[in-house]
Amino acid sequence: MNLEEIKSEIEANVPGCSLEIIPNGSPSGQHSLLVDPDHAFAVAGFLRDAANLRLDYCSNVTGVDWPAKEVSTKVKTKKVVDGVEQEVDEVLKTQSGGYLEAVYHLFSVEQRQGPVVLRMRTEDRADRVHLPSLTPVWRSADYQEREIFDLFGIIFDGHPDLRRLLMWEGFEDHPMRRDYVDPDDYEYEPTAHDEVLKRAKEHLSAEGGL
């Protein structure tokens, strides 16, 4: 079943959902399906349970940061130049975009098909960064949604244990954001390697290496 057919199946079985096929121009041609967050949980359940789909395995969940972009558009306007009205080209600059994405790669183990790529987008990158957790549908999304929360800042509503995974509690900001700035003090959490490094330096010092 191709993505157009899957889209039609979802629209027939999940009333009110908004779906859009996002084309992929790369050699893989792996197009994806963008779903509105309000219906994403119902869509996910349908994809897993529908007899002709059975997308029962989520292999990967990825976060993507799309900062706002400045878009330049040429428009024709009329202006008075040296006392004569003329039609001139002007460039209008506007801001577009500015959101985060969660991208789910789905397979059917039962029917040996996939991947089907499902996307959700937040409203912006600042305050409206909530998306529904799909972990209750695909348990394998648990740690991957936590990683996206940690590194990108998407808040997955309904996640059973949403907390940082790679960075420590109390860490501020999200390191995979495109506008993330490294701290200049380089403070870090102690790790199990600290004692090993200390012993290595003592050994080298005793051998005359330092």
Kindly tell me if the per-residue pLDDT of 187 is higher than 60. no
More confident residue, 190 or 41: 41
Kindly tell me if the per-residue pLDDT of 129 is higher than 70. yes
Cβ burial of 196 (10 Å; 0-12, 13-18, 19+) is exposed
Residue 141 banded pLDDT, cuts 50, 70, 90: very high
- What is the per-residue pLDDT for 32? 96
Element (H, E) at 74: strand 57-81
Side-chain-facing half-sphere of 139: CA atoms under 13 Å = 0
As a whole-number percent, the residues of the chain with pLDDT over 70 amount to 94
What's the average model confidence in pLDDT over 94-103?
Answer: 87
What's the average model confidence in pLDDT over 176-192?
Answer: 74
Nearest to 43 by CA among 110, 100, 104: 104
Q: Domain ranges for the chain, please list them.
A: 3-65+99-185
pLDDT tens, 13-62? 999 999 999 998 888 778 999 999 999 999 999 999 999 999 999 999 99
Kindly tell me if the per-residue pLDDT of 190 is higher than 90. no
How far the first Cα of the chain sits from its last, in Å, is 65
- What is the per-residue pLDDT for 209? 57
- What is the per-residue pLDDT for 172? 87
What's the average model confidence in pLDDT over 191-200?
Answer: 76
Element (H, E) at 94: strand 84-108
Asked if 19 and 34 touch (Cβ cutoff 8 Å), the reply is yes
CATH for 3-65+99-185 is 3.30.460.80
- What is the per-residue pLDDT for 193? 74
Global confidence as pTM = 0.78
Residue 170 banded pLDDT, cuts 50, 70, 90: confident
Structure tokens at 125: 């990158």
Neighbours of 158 (CB within 10 A): 12
More confident residue, 27 or 119: 119
- What is the per-residue pLDDT for 1? 85
